[in-house]
Structure 1
Amino acid sequence: GRYTPQDFIELVRSHNIAFHEKTLGQLFCDGSARQIVAMLMAECDKSAAAGGHVDFVFDAPVGEVTHDGSDYHVTYNGVHAQGGALVIATGGPSIPKMGATAFAYDLGRQFGLKIVEPRPALVPLTLGGDDILFRELSGVSAEVVARHQKTAFREAALFTHRGLSGPAVLQISSYWRPGDQVEIDFLPSLDATELLLSEKRARPRATLRSTLDRVLPARLAEALAAKIGLLGNLADQNDRKLVGAGALLGNWPFVPNGSEGYAKAEVTLGGISTDGLSQKTMEAKKMPRLFCVGEAVDVTGWLGGYNFQWAWASGVAAGEAI
């Protein structure tokens, strides 16, 4: 807790960057996220003015990285840099079109650090087989509860032409493993069984579709009613069938056949194992003055700024120790 979310918010305020809060306490710049990058670079300039030294070098592929027993040596674009400490802060392989690679893991292995097998996280899930019939719902969004075993998130889910996305599904994807089932509660504010049974008595001529139409987006109501298949008026259905339909609406099982992979994953699970690092400074236990921070490390937060906060907090811990 040495560098808290409040510490970062105060830094943003000190640079007069306007921001607003969305659902679940998530903070967004009123203008552009580039303001945060500019702020961090301005802080580097400030440290240089105070006697520090920060050089920015962009689009420079890193060649050899070595340690001679006292200093680290890095070559890039034919230039040689040398220093007493090296920080691995190169992230994970998520969203390669931004330049993301697995470089951190290669470097970690080179210096004897253990790598926890990486996989995409906070990523849309893909569907196949019968579930692909939901493809016709592409673009439909609804508030749901997405569950995986004992973990659940209540947020929006979005149907895509390939499967399921939206915040609730991105969150659950970090817990999902290939072959696992994910359940969706399409009526998180209601007891679906209670709804159907009470509607049968209050509006006997209502249908399953017309009942769902009142509480769900029309295309979703139509698709779910068609899948469940209770044709005719609710009055014509016996209670046992309505109980079964209600149970399904509250706990609809999907078995994703995969995910959209690193191309669409917001973060990466896995990475440089925390076992080999100091909890206080992020320094490698077996390699002097080698520090690992941010997403390069096997630490993954929820959606909504947790991964950014981990980057700042772990970076500060390493920076103070150097």
Structure 2
Amino acid sequence: MAQYDVLVIGAGAAGMYCAALAGQRGRRVLLIDHATRLGEKIRISGGGRCNFTNLHASPAQYLSDNPHYCRSALARHTPQDFLKRVRHHGIRWFEKHKGQLFCEDSSQRIIDLLQAECDDGRVDWRMPCTVTAVTPEAGGWAIATDQGTFEAPSLVVATGGMAIPKIGATDWGLRLAKQQGLPLVSPRPALVPLTFAREDWAPFAELAGVALEVMLRCNEGEFREDLLLTHRGLSGPAILQISSYWQHGDELVVDLLPEQDLAALLLEAKQGSRQQLLTVLSQLLPRRLTELWLQRHDLLGRALAEVSDKTLRQLAHGLQHWVLRPDGSEGFRKAEVMRGGVDTRALDSRTMMARERPGLYFIGEVVDVTGWLGGYNFQWAWSSAFAAAQAV
């Protein structure tokens, strides 16, 4: 039985970073992962350029059943702290918008950074390696694998969530937590496209590919982002963001012309005008969407002057208060992250350790902390990894 100070299961963003930082503190670390290819979720993120953090990361951009839990970790390891390592490794980066930082080259640069940091910490690797059993022992933990049995006082679980199973995502970390008596917050897809019943969406399916900036609201969520219409429903950053707040049965409210008084604009344009209603609205909205909308309201081909003020107000209200009820989502196969996970009320917020299971730590996506789209989930990986690495 090989002895280590720290065993880390999961060689994704959080796992590699935690292993590296613990190793650099002088701990003897073993990092284990079942995958054959390293950092696949990092590799495909951000369109292949890895949106590795967000300059504006704060607790306000994270969802959890225990919303204050993330404060400590985020404060102790900030976006600027990770950015220092990015600069140290000579990685060129750029800010896209809203504080989102991407690699100028490719996501591989972040994987290379993490590998180099692990090398600096003299981390041992077992990959691919399958864990078959986890057993608590006096003063530590033992894990049985297809490459032998390993033992350490500290075991860090960084196995991620259930999003994108085709690249190896599983519920392994959740099953381990449950086995060890930790409570779970029910997992569900987040940052995921939403779908509609075929008969409800049929009129809009022909608009697939139409995109525009909207204001989208659902429950406590409100985002001004781009919306993309698809054959099956809605996608784009606006929908991915709001999907974290949506639950089955909830309505979405879409403002297709945010921060505009469309009713006043139409009534003013009507004065002395011979313009077609389609002509006026097409200057504000995509023409295909405008044509379909007017057709559905029997207003296509009508001149502004022919339409009553009341009808124009109703039209404006509908465009700025479009109520939709999705019937589901594209599921974990298309989700970017998982919402839910190990209940943080069972974890110490400074160390990530399970309160009732000394030496057992959970970090990253397996924990019930879910960030917005835009680099926030990577920042949670770095911050939670740092917190655990300082404790093991």
TM-score by length of 2: 0.79
Indicate conservation of the 8 Å contact 1:132/1:163, yes or no.
no
Please give the alpha-carbon distance, in whole angstroms, between the structure 1 residues aligned to 2:365 and 2:285: 38
Q: Write out aligned runs for 1:55-204 (5 A).
A: 55-128=124-197, 129-201=199-271, 203=273
Indicate conservation of the 8 Å contact 2:195/2:330, yes or no.
yes
Which amino acid counterpart does residue 21 of structure 1 have in structure 2?
E
Indicate conservation of the 8 Å contact 2:156/2:361, yes or no.
yes
> What secondary structure does 1:36 align onto?
helix
Percent identity between the aligned chains?
Answer: 47
Q: Write out aligned runs for 1:1-322 (5 A).
A: 1-48=75-122, 54-128=123-197, 129-201=199-271, 203=273, 205-231=274-300, 232-322=302-392
Q: Which residue of 2 aligns with 1:51?
A: none
- The farther-off stretch of 303-312 and 124-133 is 124-133
Which amino acid counterpart does residue 66 of structure 1 have in structure 2?
T
Specify every segment of 5 or more residues in structure 2 that has no aligned partner in the other structure, as ranges: 1-74
Deviation (angstroms), 1:230:
2.0
Which amino acid counterpart does residue 234 of structure 1 have in structure 2?
L
> What secondary structure does 1:65 align onto?
strand
Structure 2 CA distance for partners of 1:77 and 1:154, relative to 1, 3 Å: same
Please give the alpha-carbon distance, in whole angstroms, between the structure 2 residues aligned to 1:150 and 1:318: 31
Indicate conservation of the 8 Å contact 1:18/1:29, yes or no.
yes
Please give the alpha-carbon distance, in whole angstroms, between the structure 1 residues aligned to 2:294 and 2:253: 17
Indicate conservation of the 8 Å contact 2:163/2:335, yes or no.
yes
Which amino acid counterpart does residue 195 of structure 1 have in structure 2?
L
Q: Which residue of 1 aligns with 2:70?
A: none
Please give the alpha-carbon distance, in whole angstroms, between the structure 1 residues aligned to 2:325 and 2:272: 36
How many residue pairs are counted as aligned between the two chains? 316
Deviation (angstroms), 1:70:
2.0
Indicate conservation of the 8 Å contact 1:191/1:250, yes or no.
no
Indicate conservation of the 8 Å contact 2:272/2:305, yes or no.
no
Q: Which residue of 1 aligns with 2:9?
A: none
Indicate conservation of the 8 Å contact 2:219/2:246, yes or no.
no
Please give the alpha-carbon distance, in whole angstroms, between the structure 1 residues aligned to 2:382 and 2:169: 18
Deviation (angstroms), 1:75:
1.8
Please give the alpha-carbon distance, in whole angstroms, between the structure 2 residues aligned to 1:143 and 1:82: 53
Please give the alpha-carbon distance, in whole angstroms, between the structure 1 residues aligned to 2:378 and 2:131: 24
Which amino acid counterpart does residue 287 of structure 1 have in structure 2?
R
Deviation (angstroms), 1:59:
2.3
> What secondary structure does 2:77 align onto?
coil
Structure 2 CA distance for partners of 1:149 and 1:114, relative to 1, 3 Å: closer
Deviation (angstroms), 1:202:
5.1
Deviation (angstroms), 1:130:
2.8
Which amino acid counterpart does residue 110 of structure 2 have in structure 1?
I
TM-score by length of 1: 0.95
Specify every segment of 5 or more residues in structure 1 that has no aligned partner in the other structure, as ranges: 49-53
Structure 2 CA distance for partners of 1:153 and 1:202, relative to 1, 3 Å: farther
Deviation (angstroms), 1:208:
2.7
Please give the alpha-carbon distance, in whole angstroms, between the structure 2 residues aligned to 1:274 and 1:186: 37
Deviation (angstroms), 1:150:
4.3
Structure 2 CA distance for partners of 1:74 and 1:135, relative to 1, 3 Å: same
Which amino acid counterpart does residue 70 of structure 1 have in structure 2?
G
Indicate conservation of the 8 Å contact 2:220/2:245, yes or no.
no
Please give the alpha-carbon distance, in whole angstroms, between the structure 2 residues aligned to 1:189 and 1:199: 18
Indicate conservation of the 8 Å contact 1:200/1:235, yes or no.
yes
Please give the alpha-carbon distance, in whole angstroms, between the structure 1 residues aligned to 2:292 and 2:234: 15
Higher relative contact order (CA 8 A, sep 6+): 2
Q: Which residue of 1 aligns with 2:27?
A: none
> What secondary structure does 1:187 align onto?
coil
Structure 2 CA distance for partners of 1:198 and 1:180, relative to 1, 3 Å: same
Deviation (angstroms), 1:176:
0.7
